Structure 1
Amino acid sequence: MAENNGSAASLADFIWKNAEDLWGDFKHTDFGKVILPFTLLRRLECVLEPTRNDVRDACLTHQDSGIDLDLILRQITRYPFYNTSEYSLSSLGGTKTRQNLQDYVAKFSDNARVIFEQFDFSNTVIRLDKAGLLFKICKNFAGIDLHPDVVPDRVMSNLYEHLIRRFGAEVNEGAEDFMTPRDVVHLATTLLLDPDDSLFEANPGLIRTLYDPTCGTGGFLSDAMDHVAEYGNRFEVPPVLIPYGQELEPETHAVCMTGMLLRALETDPGRDLSKNIKMGSTLSNDQFAGERFHYGIANPPFGKKWEKDQDAVNTEYREKGFNGRFGPGLPRINDGSMLFLLHLASKMDLPERGGGRAAIVLSGSPLFNGGAGSGESEIRRYLLEHDLVDAIVSLPTEIFFRTGIGTYLWILSNKKPKHRRDRVQLINATSLWTSIKNEGNKRRIISNDQMRQIADIYAAAEEGEISHMLDYRRFGYRRIKVLRPLRMSLHINGESLVKLKNEKTWVKLSAAQQTAWEAALVPHLGLVQPFAWAETFVANVAQSTKEVGKVSKTFTKALINAFGARDLGGDPVRDADGKLVADSDLTDYENVPLLESVKDYFAREVLPHLPDAYIDESFRDDSDGEVGRVGYEINFNRFFYKYVPPRKLHDIDAELKQVEAEIAELLGEVTE
């Protein structure tokens, strides 16, 4: 009989009791490696407890019969896993605890045993045994009831996250990177699934697939499955979500696998959902290559470099193009979040098969980083021009455990209803939060009422104070290259003549050639000549003075380099074909809104200020061939900015005088 129940308070006390027992023999950073796998072991044990004897009896009866024992034992447990050992945590004994525990773990079915292999549990057991703590820890865990009926999945997820947050350095150096707060998880699943209410209602028991490429401990998957299960209160047969996920870190992968092992589908209770939870890097080793899903959801790490995946990603980009995941472009190496954005978009089911939807949590940089023509801008361009971005929600700051930065929830869809097509809904939910006691950097939550408010605003798809429905082209622009003509005159004087003599072309001349050229230049000393003079002068001297020999064009350039000086009042310089020569120092760029004519914009915004400016017609977009390179950025401030008038000078002056008086009074007290 378990001594403790599964309340949040008792679980927290229980965790710290074990931490105190480990103190001194284990480093603080090692506590998680002990407590987390024992927690998983006890939860599995609690589930199997009612059928333990039946499983052992069946194993003894059929072990030599040639019958598929695996199938029989799963039917007995009503779960996709089992354990045939005679031991439990409460019966390991105090003399051969290590050997008995190792036997216990070894006799789990393969799909459960792999969980402990990913924690390197056998070495942890040896360390505990050597420290004389193994029996005590086993006894501790035998005394707490972690059965799902006592500790629901959501409470258990909080426990896992608490363990990882407190002792996460052992799990990985960015232990909380994979942890998405419960409120953010629930908001994402609500916005992802609510639009399909009518679909679920019209199709009782509808089966759909859900995919998380960065599944961590499985919070998104579990919450979404719970979300659709609640439809059972309205429909006779609720919809079913089949979870799929991939995780990089072995320990968090093990936690997610455990959660899926313990979940049973009402329509198929023996189905092993843990088989769908794969391990490896999603970017370089997609375990679901070629597969598509009805729903996708993810919270990829913010600002994480993708250099470890670089070779595989570049190869796929180069060899597969748009037939792969990364055809639109690649972001800079310092942040791979937009690769996950593309990856998730590529996993949505095809429109001809009903289409798909996805939700992904990102930092602010994917909205605007990279200029026109960059990989980041081309990714935004692809998603927007293919009408895959349904909505973007700006979330409150300080709602994540590890960072207080602003975050955004993107909703992707390739099956938009007619009234949402070619438009993107921006929702500014930054003010919708409730204060809580600090949990790391998390100081705020989105309450259930606030969550419902956001969901209602999303569903309404209307203009409002914190909602805008925008033509996707309003995020686009053409970056045009603005040129101005070179205006230059030639100043022939002693100083510029010295500059000419330092030019490489001059140095390569023979002494006789140098003397001849210098003699030809002497009559022009002190004069200012037009730009075209250089070419005429060189041609005349070459024709009349045999000593200079054959003259190359580089000599003319040397004269211009030495004598040339910009002359804003001079005539524009033209080349041999009569075309204007641009002044490279005056080159500039303008971003023209995509919905506006380039010529109209140029006439209104540029020519009144720079009458001699002209557009570089050769600077064109690689995709559509039009003048100016197309770029996209999504700037929330542009659409939600509210002007706040500055304070009156009189009020500021009065406040300054009051402060000055207070300072003077304080100084007077010091000097008395």
Structure 2
Amino acid sequence: MANSQTLASFIWSIADTLRSTYKEKEYGDVILPFTILRRFDCLLEPTRQQVRDAYLDKRDAYSESALDALLKTRSGLTFYCTSEFDLRKLLADPENIRQNLLNYIEGLSPNVRDIFTLFELPKTITKLATKNLLFRVVSQFAAVDLHPDTVSNIEMGTLFEELIRRFSESTDSPGEHFTPREVIRLMVDLLFAPDDDALTTPGVVRSIYDPTAGTGGMLSVADEYLRTLNPQARLSMAGQEINDQSYAICKADMVIKGQEVSAIRNGDTLRDDLHEDRTFNYVLSNPPFGVDWKEIKQDVEDEHLKLGMNGRFGPGLPRVSDGSLLFLLHVLSKLRPVDETATEESKKGGGRAGIVLNGSPLFTGGAGSGESEIRRYVIENDLLEAIVALPTDMFYNTGISTYVWILTNRKAEERKGTVQLIDGSGFWEKMPKSLGSKRKTLSEGHIADIVKLYGEYADADPEVSKVLRNENFGYRAITVERPLRLNFSVAPERVEVALSQKALEKLPEETLTALRAALATLDDMGKVWKDRDDFIAELTPAVLKPVKLSTPQFKALWQGLSERDETASVCTDRKGTPEADGDLRDTENVPLTEDVDEYFAREVLPFAPDAWIDRSKTKIGYEIPFTRLFYKYVEPRSLEEIDADLENVLGRIRARLARLEEVSA
């Protein structure tokens, strides 16, 4: 029974009891909390009576906190239960099993009781009792031996993960609860790869955090990796999760593995960092793709404005429709800082992070936008180590392209000032059976190949791995101006266009009549003025004397009488400086690695000799053109091949039409 897969199948078979009452996607609502309860039941068994006796003896004499500490000491665990019942005792009183089971749950210490509250187990118990199923379910779980002498913490963790996986795959949207295990394995391998030597030290202690913990899969895989590498190592795990049930599962998984349950928190990470006072050696995260942050907009903006670079969101804010880069900034804020004064390597600190994002954070937002400013902060501060493109169709609820970003505030010397891009989109095998949108998977070999490319760094195959300097991702967005050139006429059709402008359309009728008459005095057989100053010099006495117009109205008038004309004189301001034509304004992105003036002379002036750069509008931007960097040109087929294919298709159509004619005849 200790085999986790076999045990998981046995526990899941209890679902047969539920078929008439629950849908398959709801089985986990019963099986998961009862599995947790049975594990707790077995863990608490050796010290149950000592805890009960201490509770009855000291509950009136001790403060709540002192009693809590005493009972944890008596239980020898991070939690306890003060109820007189356990699952086997419940079976002795079938008539009162519902009330007694609720009493049992109520007796659990507060730090684990909320697991069952968030699972809505009291509601489930009532439903099972109403359908006369409660006794059968309790008796079946009471028969499962989940004692730590039979099922170790590691085996129990694997068992629980298997149940979570089955539960997730049976729901309508598995991706909301579960990140594919092989994706997590890849992330963990990339995260720990540079530190493998340090992690093999006996008794080494490291911390890891997941701000979007879900059901705890990333934390579990990281723990498994480290235990396999070094059984004497200890990984302190922390996390935060917004979804109540996912949080309950994650917290239960941590309890099962003997972790400190208080480090798993329930809440919105972006709105309220519940680990505000902590940083970590490692951070892993798979935040929701493309989810808006409209509901927490005020909280995020307040932190951005009030705390600036002392807060999480100082570098910038992305558009409200996609909060991915907010999670990235949060992840960076949780990396353990580097101690530049430390002389010993082991004490220098620093942290590493892996986060899964869709393609949007790579390039969305032009120079000066929130997204670009966040990328600028990350790259200019040398915090981005590598990005790995995953195959499409890897996740349960989306088939889009996804990328693993590896971030660190303490790069290896040879990686400083660079970013490695790995195209892992071709490393996959087809799944025997699709699960939602997930049709592909990474094998152990694929993971090893990608990690090998990462380890080879500059020596890796350039077809699938590229190392670029940080500045290669930056550019200057320059504003290119062209001079304003206008001609002017008082032809009747232009007059009507001018008078229809907003500044003039509400003039009294008598004023409009006087204005038309004044303009008619300038109509000299279709004369066209090609110099603005000359035209205004004639327009002013002709119009302003007989008609009273305000300065804005007069400006609207002469603008309405104008048309663009490349042969006209350049319009200048009072200082003689050429005015820019807004309609001809353009922008050019000049790589940071190139001189702006040289670029301008080569790419702009040959086509627009009168253009200039408005340097006051120049902005720095950053983007990561991943797809473009790995683009492979595919030569189109020859016309002969295409014609041959068309002829084959047409031939088949002719043959079918001939058969139809024969049948009709």
Same-fold call, TM cutoff 0.5: yes
Change (3 A) 1:489 1:45: same
Residue aligning to 1:83: 81
Letter of the 2:163 partner, please give it.
L
Classify 1:126/1:568 alpha carbon distance in 2 versus 1 (closer, same or farther; 3 Å): same
Which residue in 2 is equivalent to 1:630?
Answer: 620
Shift of 1:46: 3.7
By how many angstroms is 1:369 displaced?
Answer: 0.9
Partner amino acid, structure 2, of 1:276: A
Extract unaligned runs of 5+ from structure 1.
169-173, 265-271, 620-627
2:287 counterpart of 1:306 = no
Q: Do 1:317 and 1:325's aligned partners in 2 also have CA atoms closer than 8 Å?
A: yes
Q: How does 1:266-285 map to 2 (within 5 A)?
A: 273-285=260-272
For the residue of structure 2 that corresponds to 1:124, the secondary structure is helix
Query: Could you tell me how far 1:261 is from its partner in structure 2?
Result: 1.2
Is 1:446 paired with 2:442? yes
Distance 1:282 1:427 in 2: 29
Q: Distance in 2 between matches of 1:7 and 1:510?
A: 92
Return the alpha-carbon distance in structure 2 between the equivalents of residues 536 and 476 of structure 1.
Answer: 49
- 1:335 aligns to what? 322
2: CA distance, partners of 1:91 / 1:179:
35
Q: Which amino acid aligns with 2:184?
A: V
Residues 31 and 167 in structure 1, CA contact (< 8 A), matched pair in contact too: no
**Maintained 8 Å contact 1:85/1:104:** yes
Note the C-alpha offset of 1:164: 3.2
Deviations 1:355-412 (A, max 9, x none): 1111111111111111111111111100000010011111111111111111111111
The answer to whether the 8 Å contact 2:55/2:82 transfers is no
Deviation of the 1:331 alpha carbon: 0.8
Partner of 2:430: 435
Q: Confirm or deny: 8 A CA contact 1:306 1:335 kept in the other structure.
A: yes
* CA distance in 2: counterparts of 1:526 and 1:571, whole angstroms: 19
Matches within 5 A, 1:375-524: 375-437=370-432, 438-463=434-459, 464=461, 465-503=463-501, 504-505=503-504, 507=507, 510=511, 513-514=514-515, 517-522=518-523, 524=524
After superposing the two structures, state which structure 1 stretch, 275-284 or 432-441, moved more: 432-441
Kindly provide the amino acid, as one letter, of the partner of residue 335 in structure 1.
Answer: D
SS in 1 for 2:489: strand
Query: Which whole-Å CA distance do the structure 1 matches of 2:69 and 2:555 have between them?
Result: 87
RMSD value, Cα: 2.6
| Unpaired stretches in structure 2, ≥5 consecutive residues | 340-347
Distance, in Å, in 2 between the alignment partners of 1:403 and 1:175 is 10
Which has the larger displacement, 647-656 or 147-156?
Answer: 147-156
Q: Deviation at 1:475?
A: 0.9
* Correspondent of 1:218 among 216, 219, 236: 216
1:513–1:547: 8 Å Cα contact kept in structure 2?
A: no
Inter-partner Cα distance in structure 2 for 1:511 and 1:306:
52
Counterpart for residue 364 of structure 2:
369
**Cα distance in structure 1, aligned partners of 2:55 and 2:292:** 53
Query: Partners of 1:510 and 1:97 in 2: how far apart?
Result: 93
Greater displacement, 573-582 / 137-146: 137-146
Q: Confirm or deny that 1:530 pairs with 2:530.
A: yes
What CA distance in whole angstroms lies between the structure 1 residues aligned with 2:71 and 2:598? 76
Q: CA deviation at 1:98?
A: 0.6
Give the 3 Å change call, closer, same or farther, for CA 58–577 of structure 1 in structure 2.
Answer: closer
Give the secondary structure class of the aligned counterpart of 1:528. Answer: coil
Identify the residue that residue 644 of structure 1 maps to in structure 2.
Answer: 634
Residue 410 of structure 1 aligns with an amino acid whose one-letter code is: W
Whole-angstrom distance in 2 between the partners of 1:243 and 1:10: 26
Q: Name the counterpart of 2:119.
A: 119
> Are positions 1:655 and 2:654 aligned together?
no
1:247 aligned onto 2:237 = no
SS at 2:382 equivalent: coil
Instruction: Give secondary structure in 1 for the equivalent of 2:615.
Output: coil
Aligned to 1:350: 337
CA contact (8 A) 1:246 1:282 kept: yes
Structure 2 contact 481–580 (Cα < 8 Å) conserved: yes
For the 8 Å contact 1:263–1:273, the answer to whether it is kept is no
2:160 is the counterpart of 1:156: yes
Q: Aligned residues, how many? A: 636
**What does the per-residue CA deviation read over 1:332-358, in whole Å, with 9 as the maximum and x for residues that have no partner?**
111111111000101111111521111
Q: 1:483-632 counterparts in 2 under 5 A? A: 483-503=481-501, 504-505=503-504, 507=507, 510=511, 513-514=514-515, 517-522=518-523, 524-532=524-532, 533-541=534-542, 548=546, 553-554=551-552, 556-619=554-617, 628-632=618-622
Pick closer, same or farther for the CA change 1:597–1:24 going to 2, 3 Å. same
- TM score, norm. by length of structure 1: 0.88
Counterpart position of 1:107:
107
CA offset digits 1:172-191 (Å, max 9, x no partner)? xx663241111111111111
Distance 2:299 2:318 in 1: 14
Instruction: Point out the more displaced range, 296-305 or 65-74.
Output: 65-74
Does the Cα contact within 8 Å between 1:87 and 1:104 map onto a contact in 2?
A: yes
Give the Cα–Cα distance (whole angstroms) in 2 for the partners of residues 481 and 295 of structure 1. Answer: 42
Change (3 A) 1:214 1:80: same
User: For residue 156 of structure 1, what is the amino acid of its counterpart?
Assistant: F
Deviation at 1:294, TM superposition (A): 1.4
